[in-house]
Amino acid sequence: MVGWGIRKPSHHTTMISQISDEPKATENVVRLSTLSGIFYPKNGYELEKIISAFYASTVTSVSNPYGILVPHAGYVYSGAAAACGYARIPPEFAGTFIVIGPSHAGFTTCTSDLIWETPLGPVPPDTEFVTALREFIPVRNDFVRIRENSLEVQMPFIRLRFPGAKVVPILMGDQSFEGAARLAKGVISAAEKTGTRPVIIASGDCSHYVPAKKARNDDLTVLAAIKNLDTLAFYDALFEIQPSMCGYGCIAAMAEICKSFGAKEARVLLYTTSGDVSGDQNEVVGYAAMEVV
């Protein structure tokens, strides 16, 4: 979160530190579900039913975006916003998703070549892309196996709507301007090497445990700063407002990557808070869906 203080970005990036990769998995190649029955239903039928209901209730039309921002809380609170974002992507998409989620445990930025288990079936990795990416971002399956909602809660949404798609998960530790620039550089390079044009998914929640009015004002002001994909303006807004936002670096990295693919604008599609479900407007968490087009 930003609330404990974020420094203003410099206009220069630094080289990524060299981190030894974890040896490639040979036996256990599956990332087991750790949050089924907690953040979302454990039963596949119930899970399909609730996600399908979220998709059916959104009025969002397909726009084929370069990337989306979706939240990563329990589905009862954030599922509607997540579906709003995913629904912009054509359901026949069978390419690669780059899923960028903040490391709540503070792990260093890393990727993984594991298959993701979900109650709806497995989500396979794009191993060719991961191999190209590891020049910039180490493969650490041990880190990615740890319980982490920012990545895991995205996988059932992907599996149900895009059963032919593959994923490249990126657990983002360094949320700074420089960290976002390094991550973006790695993804852009891997995309060029593999000839892949992935869709970018930034996983992030907005303000935490503040009054609903403050959350909405702070969050929408900060998100407006990324409208033109200007990441320096975005970090300036973060520095000025200091919202308790989770995954802001993921948003910045997405903006930089999508801009290199030809995107021009980031648009807010939906903004909700936990108070819309719980009725408590005094301490809410904010959730936004955005598209980059």
Domains for the chain: give ranges and CATH numbers.
Answer: 35-292 (3.40.830.10)
**156 sits in which H/E element:** helix 154-161
Compute the distance between CA of residue 151 and CA of residue 164 in angstroms, rounded to an integer: 18
Nearest to 99 by CA among 47, 14, 31: 31
Compute the distance between CA of residue 217 and CA of residue 77 in angstroms, rounded to an integer: 19
Contact 83, 52 (CB under 8 A): no
Residues 114-153: tens digit of each pLDDT = 999 999 999 999 999 999 999 999 999 999 999 999 999 9
Confidence class for position 290, pLDDT limits 50, 70, 90? very high
Res 116: pLDDT: 97
Compute the distance between CA of residue 181 and CA of residue 263 in angstroms, rounded to an integer: 16
Confidence class for position 279, pLDDT limits 50, 70, 90? very high
Res 60: pLDDT: 79
Contact 226, 253 (CB under 8 A): no
Q: How many CA atoms lie within 13 A of 32 on its CB side?
A: 3
Confidence class for position 18, pLDDT limits 50, 70, 90? very low
Which tokens belong to 268? 């807010």
Average pLDDT of the chain is 91
49, pLDDT greater than 80: yes
158, pLDDT greater than 60: yes
Res 261: pLDDT: 98
Residues 217-276: tens digit of each pLDDT = 999 999 999 999 999 999 999 999 999 999 999 999 999 999 999 999 999 999 999 999
Prediction pTM value:
0.90
Nearest to 93 by CA among 201, 194, 192, 205: 201
Res 20: pLDDT: 43
Rg from Cα positions in the chain = 17
Confidence class for position 59, pLDDT limits 50, 70, 90? confident
Cα 211 to chain centroid, rounded: 24
Contact 131, 83 (CB under 8 A): no
Which tokens belong to 187? 């993804």
